[in-house]
Amino acid sequence: MSTSLLPRDQRREWRWGKRSMRICFIGAGALGSTIGGTLARGGAEVWLIDPFQAHVDTINARGLRMREGSAETVVTVTACTSAAQVGVKADLVIVLVKSYHTSEAIRAAAQIIGPHTVVMSLQNGLGHEDILSEEVGRDRVMAGKTYVGGVLLGPGHVRSGVIGKETIIGELDGRLTERARRISETFNRAGILTLLSDNILGTMWDKLFINVAGGGITAITGLTYGGLYSLPILEDCALAAISEGIAVARAAGVKISITDPRRAWTMASAGLPPEFKTSMLQSLQSGNLTEIDYIHGSVVRWGARLNVPTPVNSTLVALVKGIEYARSDYPGRS
């Protein structure tokens, strides 16, 4: 029987009973392994789903090695290369593929999604909930953003940055539901500092400003944070890009808590060393596409819809796309 204090009409049917929550991660790279491993260590039943065969094999054979600061632990967790191998429905599916893989990844996970499965993205940027809703229905989708960080050090081995880093989750319509409360409890029990929000849209835009601060600029310049934060002209550019984002969010009627661009600029590098590279720069350097369309591109798309000019973000999008394109076999390439 539920002990919830929420009114009955606000309780989503809770079918997970008293057993531990069965959580499947679609995408178990740097962040999926970090959060998945932490939840498994905290007692949840976790499945890591990722096509990286050597990573999956190492985790299954020897456990997931997690380095946090100078401590290293080995976590027993099940990994597989496709959702078809899980064989049961998930209570919670957490999507942590790169944004541009979201649609194909959720489609490939149909077998683990049942009538009471919750699907939640913790990816950076905006727009994932719409993609997920198209595939699984809006009722199943919750939203979240996280300040937890992860780096994949090699197959079966991650550096995790969980301690003191917030994760915020919530229902798209702002209701404080039983399922949201149970998910945040599971996260907190595992040591992931998780808050329940009745304004998850605001949270999503706040996190967007953090990524807008340095993502595009570092991707274009190749600078680590040490370089980015030493050159005032780049700070001016970052503040202009964040200001556009704030103007767009305000025009959209989103209740943001970051209203001073300097706060986003400061927060973006908090606790990170000068040699830190943003994920956008890391993507380019490893030959992958960036999430530019979901980060600066979101500011541009929303700005166009609401008639708010976004020239700085548009320029950053164009230049990053140019860098991506320069690696292709374009006409006239020498």
Ligand X SMILES: CC(C)(CO)C(=O)C(=O)O
Ligand Y SMILES: NC(=O)C1=CN([C@@H]2O[C@H](COP(=O)(O)OP(=O)(O)OC[C@H]3O[C@@H](n4cnc5c(N)ncnc54)[C@H](OP(=O)(O)O)[C@@H]3O)[C@@H](O)[C@H]2O)C=CC1
Catalytic residue, from 98, 145, 207, 277: name it: 207
Q: How far is CA 197 from the centre of its chain?
A: 16
Q: What angle do CA 192, 281, 311 make, to 5 degrees?
A: 105
Tell which residue, 207, 61, 58, has the closest CA to residue 144.
Answer: 207
* Interface with ligand Y (CB under 6 A), residue from 48, 90, 105, 256: 105
CB of 105 to ligand Y, least distance (A): 3
Instruction: Identify what 102 binds: ligand Y, ligand X, none; CB under 5 to 8 Å per kind.
Output: none
Considering only residues 268 to 327 of the shown chain, the ones binding ligand X according to CB under 6 A are 268, 278-279
- Take residue 305 and report the two structure tokens written for it: 């819809």
Helical ranges in the chain per DSSP H: 30-41, 53-62, 102-107, 128-136, 178-189, 200-221, 225-228, 232-251, 261-269, 279-285, 296-306, 311-326
Question: Strand 64-68 to strand 157-161: parallel, antiparallel, or no bridges (unpaired)?
Answer: parallel
CB of 333 to ligand Y, least distance (A): 25
> At residue 56, what is the residue type?
V
Q: Which is nearer to ligand Y, 50 or 135 (CB)?
A: 50
146 lies in the binding site for ligand X (CB under 6 A)? no
210 lies in the binding site for ligand X (CB under 6 A)? yes
Does residue 76 contact residue 40 with C-beta atoms inside 8 Å?
Answer: yes
Q: How far is CA 15 from the centre of its chain?
A: 26
Q: Which is nearer to ligand X, 83 or 238 (CB)?
A: 238
Angle between helices 311-326 and 232-251 (to 10 degrees): 110
CB of 147 to ligand X, least distance (A): 7
Question: Strand 167-171 to strand 141-146: parallel, antiparallel, or no bridges (unpaired)?
Answer: antiparallel
CB of 10 to ligand X, least distance (A): 32
Binding mask 32-71 for ligand Y (x = CB under 6 A): x----------------xxxx-------------------
- Take residue 326 and report the two structure tokens written for it: 């320069």
CB of 116 to ligand X, least distance (A): 31
26 lies in the binding site for ligand Y (CB under 6 A)? yes
Active site (annotated) includes residue 207: yes
* Interface with ligand Y (CB under 6 A), residue from 146, 167, 269, 298: 146
At residue 286, the 3 state secondary structure works out as: coil
Q: Which is nearer to ligand X, 149 or 191 (CB)?
A: 149
Does residue 300 contact residue 314 with C-beta atoms inside 8 Å?
Answer: yes
* Interface with ligand Y (CB under 6 A), residue from 38, 99, 194, 269: 99
* Interface with ligand Y (CB under 6 A), residue from 24, 27, 92, 131: 27
Question: Strand 92-95 to strand 22-26: parallel, antiparallel, or no bridges (unpaired)?
Answer: parallel
Considering CB under 6 A, how many residues would be counted as binding ligand X?
A: 8
**DSSP-based helix, strand, coil % in the chain, nearest 5:** 45, 15, 35
Interface positions with ligand X (CB under 6 A): 124, 149, 210-211, 214, 268, 278-279
Which residues are tagged catalytic? 207
Interface positions with ligand Y (CB under 6 A): 26-27, 29-32, 49-52, 96-99, 101, 104-105, 108, 123-124, 146, 149-150, 152, 279, 291
